[in-house]
A and B are shown apart, each in its own frame.
Chain A
Amino acid sequence: MKLFKNLLNVVKPHFENGGKLEKLYPAYDAFETFLFVPNHTTNKGSHIRDAIDLKRTMFMVIVALIPCMLFGMWNVGYQYHLAIGESVSIFENFIFGFWKFLPLIIISYVVGLAVEFAFAIYRGHSVNEGYLVTGLLIPLTMPIDVPLWMLAVSVIFAVVIGKEVFGGTGMNILNPALTARAFLFFAHPIYMSGDKVWVHDAMVDGHSGSTILGELAASSNWQSLSFNPFDMMMGTIPGSVGETSFIAIMLGAVILIATGIGSWRIILSTFIGGFAMASLFNFWGANELMTTPAEIHLIIGSFAFGAVFMATDPVTGSQTNKGKYIYGFLIGVFAILIRVFNPAYPEGMMLAILLMNIFAPLVDHYVIQGNIKRRLKRANA
């Protein structure tokens, strides 16, 4: 740590006003504040300043994502070796997945941060910390075999169109990580859906590994699936890298809720919304997706991952407490609704969250207006 501090102090004069690299100050600032808590103090008025700043907040989300990531890496190896009929040790599975997954993370961070730095330097503001989390979320929501250049394009699209047009971190309407996924989903559907993309090399070898949602959409009964509910809880099923294991996601959820970073209101109400909608469909029961028990609906697909890591994005979600309940509940409802009624879009969760991102400010608006009205009434009474 001392080494970094000394290094930063040595190069600092170059970046400050009048230095040679004055224009690149935002880049320097980003590194310095990333490594060390900045020592700015509020100099006007009275403020309550939290001990942890945004960079440290974001870092906790990364910590919460680690169980999903580690499990996802292992699962990549496990699914591959299962498909080719070899059995290898847990460690070998993990190493295999690690080397397959590493390029996705590197591309995501390098490309995304390059765009962020470019905008920060051009606009002369400090580099936004939001990409730290987005950069890890994006590869976790991708199939393992997604071509790297496609990943790069979707990252550029997400950062530029999803975030920078609106003014950067904190101003965006849509969740950038989901914007990247939605972009790839519509731009290159053959790499993002179907039964040939979820297991490494499936496209070449031809061994299929369809997701549970894919099988259900192809109208097979949930009881005749090749996976039992225990597999679904554990996550030893094909799917996007980070979203298969319910248990790993819940570990992340515990970390987010315990540190107060993720809103438990959103997580809880999303699950309640999804459960309510799925139960309703159970009574209807017109196709295989409808008859699937509600509790199974909550642990398959990316429902849990979306509820815990995507819906809780503090920027794009609702801000008011009452609004959070409504926002989460509707995400759950829409996710199941899209999943059941449109088998062409098995991942209703992505679309549901993006939809509710757009409506979150409206929800907040009515919650606030309702509050004002209520209090006015009380005052006038």
Chain B
Amino acid sequence: MSDKKEVLFSKKNRKLLTDPLNDNNPVTTQVLGICSALAITVQLKPAIVMAISVLVVMSVANVVVSLMRNLIPSRIRIIVQLVVIAALVILVDQVLKAFVYDVSKELSVFVGLIITNCIIMGRLEAFALGNGVWKSFLDGLGNAFGYGWILIAVAFFRELLGAGTLFGFPVIEKLGLYEIGYENNGMMILPPMALVTVGIIIWIQRTKNRDLIES
């Protein structure tokens, strides 16, 4: 417990929270969790629900594993981590089914597949197993936000351009763009465009921060 005297939001801790938002983003820099970014970003609402679900699972799992980190024999650590994540995912799934049934139906297997989301596993392995509870919590939160904002950004463009709506609200129709000949782009609904959209975000990010470009 060497970090006991450290302030709650010291510079180092703040970095844990803000780094994954941009320069060390789990999706755009580490290229993890791509599968869910493709699958559930057709509309904004499921994307936001997914982002929140991952946020909950990731931050709590990080805290739990960090608490247990000195008890887990390293030979079986992966299975222990999986049990923790799986328990949390089932909890989240049940909550979604109880309160936002239609969205949970739309997300279908992808809630269950949070278990296999490499970002969560990666953070548990790389961070929570070796760091204190508070730091792990911040790390989980930061990475979940980093993942979430990409998801929401992609979903924003896909829903707006693909279906002409935002949260189901017919934005394009209200703006009167259909009357002057505009039509929705059917390709934005298809999974490849999610990949292209993520690609464009990565492109912009690396143009701004050239250190991220791989040699």
State the A residues within 8 Å of B (CB): 147, 149-150, 153, 161, 165, 183, 186-189
Is A183 in contact with B181, judged by CB distance below 8 angstroms? no
State the B residues within 8 Å of A (CB): 181-183, 185-188, 190, 196, 199-200, 203
Which residues of the partner chain A approach B185 to less than 8 Å between Cβ atoms?
Answer: 153, 187-188
Is A186 in contact with B190, judged by CB distance below 8 angstroms? yes
Is A187 in contact with B187, judged by CB distance below 8 angstroms? yes
Given A147-B181, A149-B181, A165-B203, answer yes or no on A189-B186 (Cβ-Cβ < 8 Å).
yes
Is B199 in contact with A165, judged by CB distance below 8 angstroms? yes
CB contact between B186 and one of A147, A165, A188 (< 8 Å): that residue:
A188
Residue on B with the closest CB to A183?
B187
Which residues of the partner chain B approach A150 to less than 8 Å between Cβ atoms?
Answer: 183
Which residues of the partner chain A approach B190 to less than 8 Å between Cβ atoms?
Answer: 186
List 16 A–B pairs whose Cβ atoms lie within 8 Å, in order of A's numbering: A147-B181, A149-B181, A149-B182, A150-B183, A165-B199, A165-B203, A183-B187, A186-B186, A186-B187, A186-B190, A187-B186, A187-B187, A188-B183, A188-B185, A188-B186, A189-B186
CB proximity of A155 to chain B, nearest CB, Å: 14
Is B181 in contact with A161, judged by CB distance below 8 angstroms? no
Which residues of the partner chain A approach B199 to less than 8 Å between Cβ atoms?
Answer: 161, 165
- Cα A150 to Cα B199 in complex, Å, equals 22
Q: A-side binding surface: helix, strand, loop or mixed?
A: helix
Which residues of the partner chain A approach B203 to less than 8 Å between Cβ atoms?
Answer: 165
CB proximity of B210 to chain A, nearest CB, Å: 13
Residue among B183, B187, B196, B200 with the highest chain A CB neighbour number at 10 A = B187
CB proximity of B37 to chain A, nearest CB, Å: 18
- Cα A147 to Cα B203 in complex, Å, equals 30
Residue on A with the closest CB to B183?
A188
CB proximity of B189 to chain A, nearest CB, Å: 9
- Cα A75 to Cα B186 in complex, Å, equals 30
CB proximity of B164 to chain A, nearest CB, Å: 13
Residue on B with the closest CB to A148?
B181
* A-B complex: 5 closest residue pairs judged by Cβ atoms: A187-B187, A186-B187, A187-B185, A187-B186, A161-B196
Residue on A with the closest CB to B162?
A187
CB proximity of B143 to chain A, nearest CB, Å: 27
Residue among B183, B190, B196, B199 with the highest chain A CB neighbour number at 10 A = B183
CB proximity of A107 to chain B, nearest CB, Å: 14
CB proximity of B176 to chain A, nearest CB, Å: 15
Which residues of the partner chain A approach B188 to less than 8 Å between Cβ atoms?
Answer: 187
* Given A153-B185, A188-B183, 14 other A-B residues pairs in contact with their CB atoms under 8 A: A147-B181, A147-B183, A149-B181, A150-B183, A161-B196, A161-B200, A165-B199, A165-B203, A183-B187, A186-B187, A187-B185, A187-B187, A188-B186, A189-B186
Which residues of the partner chain B approach A161 to less than 8 Å between Cβ atoms?
Answer: 196, 199-200
Which residues of the partner chain B approach A187 to less than 8 Å between Cβ atoms?
Answer: 185-188
Residue on B with the closest CB to A149?
B181
CB proximity of B101 to chain A, nearest CB, Å: 32
CB proximity of B213 to chain A, nearest CB, Å: 12
Which residues of the partner chain A approach B183 to less than 8 Å between Cβ atoms?
Answer: 147, 150, 188
Residue on B with the closest CB to A189?
B186
- Cα A187 to Cα B190 in complex, Å, equals 9
- Cα A187 to Cα B163 in complex, Å, equals 11
- Cα A149 to Cα B182 in complex, Å, equals 8
Which residues of the partner chain A approach B182 to less than 8 Å between Cβ atoms?
Answer: 149
Which residues of the partner chain A approach B181 to less than 8 Å between Cβ atoms?
Answer: 147, 149
